A = this chain, B = another copy of it.
Amino acid sequence: MKNRARTPNDIGHAIRQARKAKKLTQKDLAERSGVWQETISKVENGLSDTKLETVFDIFAALDLEILVQGRSKGSADSFEDIF
- Rounded to whole angstroms, the CA-CA distance of A65 and B6 in the bound complex is 6
Interface residues on A, range: 20 to 34
**Could you tell me if A70 and B6 are in contact, using CB atoms closer than 8 angstroms?**
no
Interface of A is mostly: mixed
**Could you tell me if B65 and A14 are in contact, using CB atoms closer than 8 angstroms?**
no
Which residues from B are CB-within-8-Å of A55?
Answer: 52
Asked whether A3 and B56 contact (CB < 8 A) given A49-B51, A51-B49, A51-B50, the answer is: no
**Could you tell me if B67 and A11 are in contact, using CB atoms closer than 8 angstroms?**
no
- Rounded to whole angstroms, the CA-CA distance of A55 and B49 in the bound complex is 11
Question: Which residues from chain A sit less than 8 Å from chain B, CB to CB?
Answer: 1-8, 10-11, 14, 18, 49-53, 55-56, 59-60, 63-72, 76
